């Protein structure tokens, strides 16, 4: 990578404050410069379709607002005072202290300061999320692992493995703008399989008590290309918990059924029960799907068929697979924005190879939005038959080139997201609605073929 980035698709490690806020009744305490909390909140909280400050995020986040004096003399003493204040002022089950760039460079030890509180029995965890340490994905993984190491592991509980209990490590909230709906659907499906689920984030999570229950799981389920794998490895080392790593979020019936079978086999579930569930879900899915047959045929010439997509790998793989292999689009440019290394990048390219030969030469690993747009323009070559999946930036490109656009990655400030999701059976159906309603939303389309 060259380093510089235009139109960023992720924020810095400190954006993990949103990870903390995604745990019911957990709050961050930011030890960073005065603008960092607001900026990372604006990028990922608002940028994910106005998901809001919630219980105590946004402007409510405790912050030491590092000033010149702190940079010169160190800020640990001030941080101690602020943690004390937060414990008194804000009601929370877990306080996660996050270091920003200023603290990271001057060498304030947030782990040590936090540990002093933990030793007094306070639910305080410290994480070095200095912005320069990495992006939002890296920050998320750091926070999850430190909560496990410093908080979950801190209880002298005997690990009692409960058969059928699974911890899920999937979407990065709200870097994946659809994390809320995704987790709802994942939990719904796993529960239909008879599993008990620690979903860990969002309204479906019981909060901190679920986190304390992590060591008792029968297995860990990682539904992400790379985020979460090191957490699963950590849990394997600590508690001997086996894990299943599925490197994408499945969209639609075919992929979801495939993933369910993998989970069933891994968890040693009754295969008849698994097949019964799949039958029921597929029947529903394809009944709705085939009901659109009239529409597909009548509006064939008004429906775009070239696929351009800009997203992180976990979403890009599942959605591309579905849109190409089930809805018949032709992939023209798939841009993957999140790989932390060439190694992961190559793994992603391998996965795409497995999805079909149409993807050959169409997948680009790139985190510079400016270069992505340049490449899409070149590949479009004047076409007006494309569906461009991406962010606010791709909306502009689609408008400029006369194509359709759909949101799938942040920043998407021009959208409102509650529990929209393109994951699972329900997510596939929702995506179908979005794609085909889109042709009426963005263009003058009539039930006949007019000369353009």
Partner 1 sequence: MSANLDLSSVEVRERRLKSIISYNGTAKDLSDKSKSKSLNIRERSYGQCSDCAQGCGQVISYTIRGAAVIEHSPIGCSAPAVSALGINVANKARGLPPQKTNVLSTNLTEKDTVYGGIEKLNATVREAKRRFDPTAIFVQSSCAAGIIGDDIESATTALQEELGIPVVPIFCEGFKSRIWSTGFDASFHGILRKIVKEPKKKQPDLVNVFNFEGSDTFTPLLAPLGLRVNYVVPLSDVHQLEELSEAACSTHICETLATYPANALEKYYGVPEVKAPPPFGVKWTDEWLRDIARITGKQDLVEDYIAREHERIKPELEAAKEKLKGLKFYIFAGDSYAHSIANMLLDLGVDLIGVTTLHHDQLTDGGEESIDSLGNLVNSHGDVPNFTVCNKQPYQVYKILTKLKPDVMIVRHMNMAVLGAKLGIPSINDGDVNISAGYDGLARLAERLYQASKAKKLFQNVAAHTQNPYSEWWLSQEDPFYFEGGHQ
Rounded to whole angstroms, the Cα distance separating 212 from 205 reads 12
Other beta carbons within 10 angstroms of residue 340's beta carbon come to 16
Contacts 24+ apart (CB under 8 A), 380-383: 380/306, 380/308, 380/332, 383/306
Mark 173-202 with x for binding to partner 1 (rule: CB under 8 A) and - for no binding: ------------------------------
Does position 68 interact with partner 1 (CB under 8 A)? The reply is yes
Identify the residue among 292, 328, 370, 440 touching partner 1 (CB under 8 A): 370
For partner 1, give the closer residue by CB, 235 or 344. Answer: 344
Question: Segment 154-173, which members bind partner 1 (CB under 8 A)?
Answer: none
59 makes contact with partner 1 (CB under 8 A) = yes
Per CB under 8 A, the segment of 270-278, 288-296, 377-385, 390-398 that binds partner 1 is 390-398
The verdict on 239 binding partner 1 (CB under 8 A) reads: no
What span, in angstroms and rounded, lies between the C-alpha atoms of 290 and 283?
A: 10
The yes or no reply on residue 105 touching partner 1 (CB under 8 A) is yes
Give, as ranges, the residues between 11 and 30 that touch partner 1 (CB under 8 A).
Answer: 11-15, 27, 30
82 contributes a contact to partner 1 by CB under 8 A: yes
CB 218 within 8 A of CB 61: no
Return the range that interacts with partner 1 (CB under 8 A); candidates 59-67, 204-212, 262-270, 330-338: 59-67
Q: Is 163 exposed, middle or buried (0-12, 13-18, 19+ CB in 10 A)?
A: exposed
Q: How far is the CB of 248 from partner 1 (least distance, A)?
A: 24
Specify the residue, 3 or 447, whose C-beta has the smaller distance to partner 1: 3
Question: Cβ of residue 151: shortest distance to partner 1, in angstroms?
Answer: 19
What residues between 400 and 429 interact with partner 1 by CB under 8 A? 411, 413-414
Distance CA 149, CA 142 (A): 10
Q: Which of 35-43, 202-210, 312-320, 339-347 is the region at the interface with partner 1 (rule: CB under 8 A)?
A: 35-43
* N residues, the chain: 452
Q: Are 163 and 195 spatial neighbours (Cβ–Cβ below 8 Å)?
A: no
Is position 5 an interface residue for partner 1 (rule: CB under 8 A)? yes
Q: Which stretch binds partner 1 (CB under 8 A): 65-73, 197-205, 306-314, 381-389?
A: 65-73
Shortest reach from residue 25's CB to partner 1, in Å: 9
Say which residue the tokens 């429906």 belong to.
Answer: 303
Candidates 117, 201, 219, 393; binder of partner 1 (CB under 8 A) is 393
Collapsed DSSP state (helix, strand, coil) of residue 284: helix
Our finding on whether 81 is near partner 1 (CB under 8 A) is yes
- Cα separation, 94 vs 200, whole angstroms: 13
**Rounded CA separation 404/418 (Å):** 22
Render 37-69 in DSSP notation, one character per residue: HHHHIIIIIITTT----TTT-GGGSEE----HH
Among 74, 90, 284, 347, binds partner 1 (CB under 8 A): 90
Among 22, 43, 176, 243, binds partner 1 (CB under 8 A): 43
Q: Indicate the burial class of 282 (C-beta count within 10 angstroms; 0-12, 13-18, 19 or more).
A: middle
Q: Among 42, 111, 429, 445, which residue sits at the site for partner 1 (rule: CB under 8 A)?
A: 42
Edge-to-edge strand list for the sheet holding 404-407: 363-365, 330-336, 306-311, 386-390, 404-407
> Tokens at residue 161, please?
């493995």
Assess 133 for contact with partner 1 (CB under 8 A).
Answer: yes
Cβ of residue 134: shortest distance to partner 1, in angstroms? 8
Task: For partner 1, give the closer residue by CB, 71 or 192.
Answer: 71
């Amino acid at each position: 990578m060259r380093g510089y980035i235009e139109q960023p698709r992720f924020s810095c490690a400190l954006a993990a404050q949103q990870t903390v806020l995604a745990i019911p009744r957990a709050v961050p305490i930011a030890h960073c410069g005065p603008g960092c909390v607001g900026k990372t909140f604006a990028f990922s909280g608002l940028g994910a379709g106005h998901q809001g400050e919630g219980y105590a995020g946004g402007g409510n986040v405790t912050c030491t607002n590092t000033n010149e004096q702190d940079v010169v003399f160190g800020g640990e003493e001030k941080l101690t005072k602020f943690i004390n204040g937060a414990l008194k002022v804000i009601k929370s089950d877990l306080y996660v202290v996050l270091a920003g760039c200023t603290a990271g460079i001057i060498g304030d030890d947030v782990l040590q300061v936090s540990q002093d509180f933990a030793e007094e029995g306070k639910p305080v965890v410290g994480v070095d999320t200095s912005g320069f340490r990495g992006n939002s994905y890296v920050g998320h993984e750091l926070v999850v692992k430190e909560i496990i190491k410093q908080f979950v592991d801190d209880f002298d509980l005997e690990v009692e493995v409960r058969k059928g209990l699974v911890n899920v490590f999937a979407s990065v909230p709200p870097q994946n703008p659809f994390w809320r709906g995704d987790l709802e659907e994942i939990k719904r499906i796993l529960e239909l399989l008879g599993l008990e689920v620690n979903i860990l984030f969002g309204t479906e999570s019981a909060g901190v008590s679920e986190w304390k229950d992590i060591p008792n799981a029968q297995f860990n389920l990682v539904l992400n290309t790379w985020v979460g794998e090191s957490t699963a490895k950590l849990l394997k080392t600590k508690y001997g918990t086996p894990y299943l790593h599925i490197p994408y979020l499945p969209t639609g019936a075919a992929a979801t059924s495939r993933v369910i079978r993998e989970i069933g086999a891994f968890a040693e579930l009754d295969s008849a029960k698994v097949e019964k569930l799949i039958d029921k879900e597929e029947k529903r899915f394809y009944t709705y799907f085939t009901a659109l047959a009239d529409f597909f045929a009548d509006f064939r010439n008004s429906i775009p068929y070239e696929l351009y997509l800009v997203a992180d790998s976990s979403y890009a793989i599942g959605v591309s697979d579905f849109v190409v292999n089930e809805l018949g689009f032709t992939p023209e440019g798939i841009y993957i924005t999140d790989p932390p290394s060439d190694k992961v990048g190559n793994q992603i390219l391998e996965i795409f190879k497995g999805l079909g030969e149409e993807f050959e030469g169409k997948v680009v690993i790139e985190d510079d939005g400016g270069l992505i747009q340049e490449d899409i323009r070149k590949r479009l070559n004047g076409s007006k038959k494309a569906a461009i999946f991406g962010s606010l930036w791709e909306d502009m490109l689609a408008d400029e080139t006369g194509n359709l656009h759909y949101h799938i990655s942040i920043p998407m400030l021009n959208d409102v997201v509650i529990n929209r999701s393109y994951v699972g059976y329900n997510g596939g159906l929702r995506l179908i609605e979005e794609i085909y309603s889109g042709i009426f939303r963005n263009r003058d389309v009539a039930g006949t073929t007019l000369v353009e």
